[in-house]
Amino acid sequence: MSYIVATEQLTKRYGSRTVVDGLNLRIPPGCVYGFLGPNGSGKSTTMKMLLSLVRPSSGEVHIMGQPMNPATRRGLLACIGSLIESPPGYGHLTGRENMRLVQRLLGLPDRYVDEAVRTVRMQDQLDKKVRDYSLGMKQRLGIAMALARRPRLLILDEPTNGLDPAGIEEIRDLLRRLSGAGVTVMVSSHLLGEIDKTATMLGILNGGRLIFQGTRDELLAASTPDVLIDTPDPEYANAQLKGMVVSRLDRGSVRVSGIGDPVTARVVAHLVGAGVDIYGVRRDEQSLEDVFMALTSGGGL
């Protein structure tokens, strides 16, 4: 399998602090890769290392199968569009003037610029000054600037940050269309809900470490939902489980965490043996958000 982005033990230290720790990213071509993690988990630093804006302390970056090094850097970066931190563009210029600057800088034909502007649906807003744009419009112009070079890979750092729900939906829709057009997109967010349904692959970062990488179905499957035991005397049942499993009372049931099917069977047998009446045993429904929260608050899978 050749990946658009692959990193080997990518690491960044600032002084004695390791802020990105041994990442092995694998981003397949054509996907929307949701790069998730709480604030400060190292997402921006990682993206900047992919773009050679920050020098790794150790490890390697491979883009489209080629190692990033001084000899390959220029050619590889020409295939990557990016939007890192605040949206680019000069406020005192119009959208069109900003696009023209990018065009001249990169020596691009008119049709590349026109298509990028159409893709982000900004063709009717180009004659306004950028300082009069809403945040969502600024983000979309920034994405058009990144798209104008017709990149194979687009790296977007928190493009939905600060947007209202309509703006977030516009970016989601844009990401879907881009990936439909064959562009691989890596997009970061600290909120799973903002990119959950758009992303075909997820990478979850916590404290600089990649704690999960795979599809959303794989993420759900890798977590073990809690078991809920319904009984007329939950206090007594819970007391019987002390020292055996991690359990607690939850709205008239006993909630047991982190147990697979064989342990569930033993728990039920143990309770029945202790004279507990069991009305029902069920697995709790878990949303992806629950799994994400459990993971990034140190729960682990």
Q: What's phi and psi for 92, nearest 5 deg?
A: -80, -5
Whole-number Å distance between alpha carbons of 283 and 259: 10
For ligand ATP, which residue of 41, 94, 160, 223 counts as binding (CB under 6 A)?
Answer: 41
Query: Cβ 207 to ligand ATP, closest distance in Å?
Result: 9
Residue 209 makes contact with ligand ATP by CB under 6 A? no
Binding window for ligand ATP (CB under 6 A); candidates: 34-42, 88-96, 99-107, 115-123: 34-42
Q: How far is CA 261 from CA 160, 224, 300, in A?
A: 40, 10, 19
Of 24, 40, 132, 272, the residue at the interface with ligand ATP (CB under 6 A) is 40
Alpha carbons 61 and 89: distance in angstroms, whole number: 28
* Stretch of residues binding ligand ATP (CB under 6 A), selected from 3-11, 43-51, 61-69, 245-253: 43-51
**Binding characters for ligand ATP, 138-177, by CB under 6 A (x = yes):** ----------------------------------------
Is there binding between residue 39 and ligand ATP (CB under 6 A)?
A: yes
User: How far apart are CB 72 and ligand ATP at their closest, in Å?
Assistant: 24
Which residues in the 45-74 window bind ligand ATP by CB under 6 A? 45
CA nearest to 192, candidates 297, 288, 285 = 288
- 4, 5, 6, 19: which one binds ligand ATP (CB under 6 A): 19
Using CB under 6 A as the binding rule, the residues of this chain from 187 to 206 that contact ligand ATP are: 190
Say whether residue 44 binds ligand ATP (CB under 6 A).
yes
CA distances from 157 to 5, 82, 181, 223, 229 (A): 16, 8, 20, 27, 43
Residue 61 vs residues 49, 72, 275: alpha-carbon distances, Å: 8, 11, 60
Of 43, 62, 149, 216, the one binding ligand ATP (CB under 6 A) is 43
Query: Token pair of 17, please?
Result: 């602090």
Task: Tell me: does residue 37 bind ligand ATP (CB under 6 A).
Answer: yes
- Minimum CB distance to ligand ATP, residue 151 (Å): 21
95 binds ligand ATP (CB under 6 A): no
82 Cβ contact list (under 8 Å, min separation 6): 47, 51, 146, 154, 155, 156, 157
Query: What's the min distance (Å) between Cβ of 299 and ligand ATP?
Result: 19
Min dist CB 191 to ligand ATP, Å, is: 10
Question: Which stretches of the chain bind ligand ATP, using CB under 6 A?
Answer: 14, 19, 37, 39-45, 190
